[in-house]
């Protein structure tokens, strides 16, 4: 056997992404073996600027590992010419600007496809390239608001609440990766590229499945909403109990039972076999209807134990559960480090960080070695001279003219 070959080895990606959405898609590609050239304005992309704010360096470092960093001023004619020349040689272009931005600059899909019919052009946005909301500004929280995510997040008697993680950005980036590799597969059959797009609003909709089930099951269908929209830590579809987070003597633990096997195992762990005969709790449907009483029972039980002590007890009885861990515990998690998902790295710019690899695993190839995210424009000479073939005087002229 020769050297291991990664699935996207030989694919060249021009990454015009910014913040989380596009850069996550291209990070997944880089970790699958693609050569990813991160193209930034001369001042750097927005997320790089956040490194000036305390603690904001890690997101940029995580999302831009294993990428070549170049600068390019697309507001200059020569900059646009260079992008077109790179697109002529590339396989994929990814951007997540407001729809129409690349077209206004004169380097949209039709222009780039004209020089490279095999090109996959991937566009990520908040609301998509078509539709009434096309030009709405989109950030993760605005998509959470528009998608209904915030309406079902939080306590029943509290306000709509955003999720802690930037779910919509990463849902969009994950789907964008899928769209690109799908188009690459098609190109193998047809020899032609295509435009693919993912709207964050579209991508997050399926995650509302439990809440949508409750809505339509309650006779919603566009009529008045007649059920609690926010369920706190309880099941979003009000279809399981216990299904919540409970206080222990020294923390919190999530415990859930979605079928009778789980419930009976929990009763054994609790030494409450008497509850087997309680008709209120005979079936999942009945338990869901009596979630208040179940939560009272669970609360009184859980607080008798330390968090980790209770976790071990419930695991022993195969009850679905998990301790609520803080970020210090997660970034030092022995499981994530043993799998190689997390790796401690002394980053040349940002110091010691827990760098992350791709969640995607490919058999018969080792995990892709992590290369720290590069300084702004660090590979200008490698890409413009080494790849495009520009001479050193041409490179110096581009710098003087503020093109790169």
Which residues are tagged catalytic? 235
Dist. CA 204–CA 186, nearest whole Å: 25
3-state SS, the chain, equals CCCCCCCCCCCEEEECCCCCHHHHHHHHHHHCCCEEEEEECCCCCHHHHHHHCCCCHHHHHHHCCCCEEEECCCCCHHHHHHHHHHHHHCCEEEECCCCCHHHHHCCCHHHHHHHCCCCEEEEEECCCCCCCCCCCCCCHHHHHHHHCCHHHCCCCCCCCCCCCCCHHHHHHHHHHHHHHHHHHHHHHHHCCCCEEEEEHHHHHHHHHHHHHHHHHHCCCCCCCCCCCCCCCCCCCCCCCCCEEEEECCCCEEEEECCCHHHHHHHHHHHCCHHHHHCHHHCCHHHHHHCHHHHHHHHHHHHCCCCHHHHHHHHHHCCCCEEECCCHHHHHCCHHHHHCCCEEEEEECCCEEEEEECCCCCCCCCCCCCCCCCCCCCCCHHHHHHHHCCCCHHHHHHHHHCCCC
Tokens of 400: 């003087």
Strand-strand pairing, 342-347 and 321-323: unpaired
């Amino acid at each position: 056997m020769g050297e291991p070959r990664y699935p996207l080895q030989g694919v060249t990606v021009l990454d015009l992404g910014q913040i989380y959405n596009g850069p996550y898609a291209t990070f997944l590609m880089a970790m699958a073996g693609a050569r990813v050239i991160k193209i930034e304005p001369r001042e750097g992309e927005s997320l790089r600027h956040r490194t000036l704010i305390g603690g904001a360096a890690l997101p940029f470092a995580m999302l831009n590992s294993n990428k070549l960093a170049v600068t390019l001023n697309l507001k200059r004619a020569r900059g646009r010419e260079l992008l077109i020349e790179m697109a002529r040689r590339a396989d994929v272009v990814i951007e997540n600007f407001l729809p129409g931005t690349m077209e206004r600059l004169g380097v949209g899909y039709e222009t780039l496809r004209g020089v490279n019919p095999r090109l996959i052009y991937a566009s990520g946005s908040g609301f998509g390239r078509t539709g009434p909301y096309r030009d709405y500004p989109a950030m993760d929280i605005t998509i959470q608001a528009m998608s209904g995510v915030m309406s079902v997040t939080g306590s029943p008697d509290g306000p709509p609440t955003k999720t802690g993680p930037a779910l919509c950005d990463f849902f969009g980036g994950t789907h964008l990766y899928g769209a690109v590799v799908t188009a690459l597969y098609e190109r193998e059959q047809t020899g032609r590229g295509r435009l693919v797009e993912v709207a964050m609003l579209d991508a997050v909709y399926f995650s509302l499945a439990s809440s949508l089930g409750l809505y339509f099951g309650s006779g919603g269908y566009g009529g008045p909403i007649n059920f609690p929209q926010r369920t706190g830590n309880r099941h979003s579809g009000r279809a399981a109990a216990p299904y919540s987070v409970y206080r222990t003597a020294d923390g919190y633990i999530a415990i859930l039972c979605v079928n009778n096997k789980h419930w009976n195992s929990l009763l054994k762990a609790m030494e409450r076999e008497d509850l087997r005969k309680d008709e209120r709790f005979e079936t999942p449907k009945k338990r869901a209807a009596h979630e208040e009483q179940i939560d009272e029972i669970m609360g009184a039980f859980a607080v008798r134990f330390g968090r980790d002590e209770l976790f071990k007890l419930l695991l022993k009885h195969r009850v679905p559960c998990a301790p609520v861990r803080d970020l210090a515990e997660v970034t030092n998690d022995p499981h994530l480090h043993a799998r190689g998902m997390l790796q401690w790295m002394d980053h040349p710019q940002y110091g010691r960080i827990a760098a992350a690899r791709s969640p995607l695993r490919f058999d018969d190839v080792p995990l892709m070695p992590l290369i720290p995210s590069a300084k702004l424009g660090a590979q200008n000479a490698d890409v413009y001279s080494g790849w495009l073939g520009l001479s050193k005087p041409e490179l110096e002229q581009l710098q003087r003219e503020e093109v790169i």
